[in-house]
Amino acid sequence: MFTSSFSHLFRATARRRDVSSRRAALLRLTAALLGLTLAATACGDDSSGDDSGTTGSGGLEGKTIDFVGYGNDNPWGAHFNKVFIKQLEDGGAKVVDLTTMDPGTAVTNFNQAIANKPDLIVAALLDTSSTIVPIQKAKQADIPVLIFDGRPDPSVDGDVMQVLSDNEVLGAAAAQNLVEGMTAQGKTSGSIIVVTGTASGFASQDRMKGFDAELAKSPEFEVIDTQDGNWDPALTGKIATQLFAKYGCSGVQGAYGMADYMALAIIASAKQAGCEVGGDSGLVVTSSNCFKAGIEAIKAGTLYGTATEDPGTIAEQTADYVARYFNGEEPPAKEVVEEERVTAANVDQFAAQCSNA
């Protein structure tokens, strides 16, 4: 009887232990499944963050890029746009063209790009100050922004990616060209006129910073007039005509137009005014943003020099930056394009690079 009772008790205890073990196992399984669910949810949140523009992945295919660049009526912008858009579209991206040369319209287009909610906004800043708010709005909307050519306002410098021309180097090169050219003519002093790109943009401002700093090393040569040409050859020609009428041919020994097509407009205005250009004693003219016509003018002796910052090179680097971004390669927040000074002494070295526009 005692043995039978003990056996029955043993079996009951074993059954209770077995049930308890199964319950414990079930609880452990439930906890594990819950952990997996939470982990999956967290991963889903990370993926959403990627889509909002915090990082790129998956390549260009299927991506939409709103392009608030320079307008096609600008020679530099036209070639940049052709190269840049083709390279991105060849990679499978859709490019929405919102380009313009009007600073006010550029702000409107930037805001339109934000409303479109693309995967990326690529912009040139015609007016640095007026684009502060749109850049801030894009950040709030989690839309990444890439600025090219001229830098943004310092207040939003950390809010955008950048592929920049080395504008201070370009300005310094222009001053070196003028000083070298006038000195070679035997001049011990000289008055210089400057027609800039859009003065409200840092691209022009930084060039003038480099230009002024370099020219200060040769105080015998001084700037007597600076005008805003808005990267427009027609406007530049009109301004130059007025300046030659104001100062006369003998009152101007050097001229700086910030792009080749602006410098060539200055040369045309000078000739129309009856001024000698180049040679042993004529007006010394320099520029930047090299073009085929500028290279030919250097070879002809009417343009003393230029500098690179050709549209094709920076367009290719900007498009490559976009591709690297969407490939998840995490390019540096800021890249600067290397620039070079060009004169008759080395023009053949840069003729091919500068002759695509």
Question: H helices of the chain, where?
Answer: 2-49, 75-90, 103-116, 132-140, 167-184, 202-215, 233-247, 260-272, 292-300, 311-326, 347-350
Q: In angstroms, rounded to a whole number, what is the distance separating the alpha carbons of residues 353 and 357?
A: 9
The residues, any chain, with a CB within 8 Å of residue 325's CB and separated by 6 or more, are 56, 120, 144, 146, 161, 331
For 177-191, write each residue's pLDDT tens digit. Answer: 999 999 999 999 999
Q: In angstroms, rounded to a whole number, what is the distance separating the alpha carbons of residues 23 and 30?
A: 10
Does pLDDT of 9 surpass 70? no
For 45-77, write each residue's pLDDT tens digit. Answer: 333 333 333 455 689 999 999 999 999 999 999
> Which pLDDT band, with edges at 50, 70 and 90, does 90 fall under?
very high
Distance, CA of 2 to chain centre: 95
**Cβ-based burial of 9 (10 A; exposed 0-12, middle 13-18, buried ≥19):** exposed
The residues, any chain, with a CB within 8 Å of residue 99's CB and separated by 6 or more, are 67, 68, 69, 70, 71, 72, 77, 81, 109
Q: In angstroms, rounded to a whole number, what is the distance separating the alpha carbons of residues 245 and 265?
A: 15
- In this structure, what token pair is assigned to residue 287? 């520029």
Does pLDDT of 10 surpass 50? no
- In this structure, what token pair is assigned to residue 93? 């991206």
Q: Strand order in 120-123's β-sheet?
A: 94-97, 64-68, 120-123, 145-149, 161-165, 334-337
Ordered structural domains, the chain, with CATH: 64-165+312-338 (3.40.50.2300), 168-308 (3.40.50.2300)
Q: What are the angstrom distances between the C-alpha of 296 and each of 261, 290, 303, 304, 305?
A: 12, 10, 9, 11, 11
Q: In angstroms, rounded to a whole number, what is the distance separating the alpha carbons of residues 216 and 54?
A: 44
For 98-151, write each residue's pLDDT tens digit. Answer: 999 999 999 999 999 999 999 999 999 999 999 999 999 999 999 999 999 999
Q: Give the β-pairing of 305-307 and 341-343.
A: antiparallel
For 197-243, write each residue's pLDDT tens digit. Answer: 999 999 999 999 999 999 999 999 999 999 999 999 999 999 999 99
Q: In angstroms, rounded to a whole number, what is the distance separating the alpha carbons of residues 174 and 266?
A: 15
What is the model's pLDDT at position 262?
Answer: 98
What is the model's pLDDT at position 58?
Answer: 80
What is the model's pLDDT at position 23?
Answer: 45
Q: In angstroms, rounded to a whole number, what is the distance separating the alpha carbons of residues 315 and 312?
A: 5
End-to-end CA distance of the chain: 110
For 239-256, write each residue's pLDDT tens digit. Answer: 999 999 999 999 999 999
